[in-house]
């Protein structure tokens, strides 16, 4: 097994992903021993069927990719994903409310989702491409305050993915109490290693096979 495998959330979130694509994703995860598969909530049950006798985790994104839906909608989607077999939830913060400095609503949004999954991993996606440095720090603080288990850089659908500077800013807040997931733009082993050496605990990527085999990736995520 590649030393990278247990860091990777093997990801397929594009709008055109078919059932057969999700089945293939799960088969790839089995082959390469990835930590998890990361899918949209509508595909959690299908992924669970494919991984029923396997220890590979299922991660579902929630409020994806904009984060702008109501808290009630995020909570209901999270409940549904967990009921269908999700082990972990990656939720997008309400970016517009953060930029409006409505911090109470942002942390209550995160807290509401965490409250329905006290024993499951919650990763909070900051979407750092839309935030300045002060906003990244503030978003990280709010996620930690709200009970997040991880803070995550990106959806992969913004203007850019993770950056080294993002991770350093997030680490300055976490101080080891909350883990970090880097996602977006991680397409080769060199980049993956840079993030791991910075202390990242998980990598979100659709280029997992390229990372563990040293081959060139054609993926955009």
> Is residue 68 within 8 Å of residue 95, measured between CB atoms?
yes
132: left (phi over 0), alpha (psi -120 to 50) or beta: beta
Catalytic residue check, 90: yes
Within the chain, strands assigned E span 8-12, 36-40, 57-62, 88-92, 121-125, 150-152, 179-183, 202-205
Cα(206)–Cα(33) distance, integer angstroms: 14
User: Could you give phi then psi for residue 62, rounded to 5 degrees?
Assistant: -135, 140
Catalytic residue check, 168: no
Active-site annotation holder among 57, 114, 138, 181 = 181
The DSSP annotation for 9-65 comes to EEEE--TT--HHHHHHHHHHHHHHT-SEEEEEGGGHHHHHHHTTTS--EEEEEESTT
Catalytic residue check, 19: no
Longest dimension (CA), the chain: 46
Active-site annotation holder among 87, 90, 109, 166 = 90
Active-site annotation holder among 114, 123, 138, 152 = 152
Residues annotated as catalytic (active site), given as ranges: 90, 152, 181
């Amino acid at each position: 097994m590649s030393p990278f495998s247990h860091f990777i959330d093997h990801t397929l979130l594009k709008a055109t992903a078919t059932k057969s694509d999700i089945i293939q994703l799960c088969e790839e995860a089995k082959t390469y021993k990835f930590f998890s598969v990361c899918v949209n909530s509508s595909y959690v049950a299908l992924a669970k069927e494919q991984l029923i006798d396997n220890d590979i985790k299922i991660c579902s994104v929630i409020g994806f990719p904009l984060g702008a839906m109501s808290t009630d909608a995020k909570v209901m989607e999270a409940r549904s994903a967990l009921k269908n077999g999700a082990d972990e939830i990656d939720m997008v913060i309400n970016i517009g409310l953060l930029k409006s400095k409505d911090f109470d609503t942002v942390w209550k949004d995160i807290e509401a989702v965490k409250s329905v999954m006290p024993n499951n991993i919650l990763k909070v996606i900051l979407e750092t491409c839309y935030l300045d440095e002060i906003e990244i720090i503030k978003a990280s603080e709010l996620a930690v305050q709200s009970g997040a288990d991880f803070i995550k850089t990106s959806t992969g659908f913004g203007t850019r993915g993770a950056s080294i500077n993002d991770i350093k800013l997030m680490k300055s807040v976490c101080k080891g109490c909350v883990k970090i997931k880097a996602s977006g733009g991680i397409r080769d082993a060199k980049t993956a290693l840079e993030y791991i050496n910075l202390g990242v605990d998980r990598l979100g990527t659709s280029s997992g096979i390229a990372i563990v085999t040293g081959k060139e990736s054609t993926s955009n995520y």
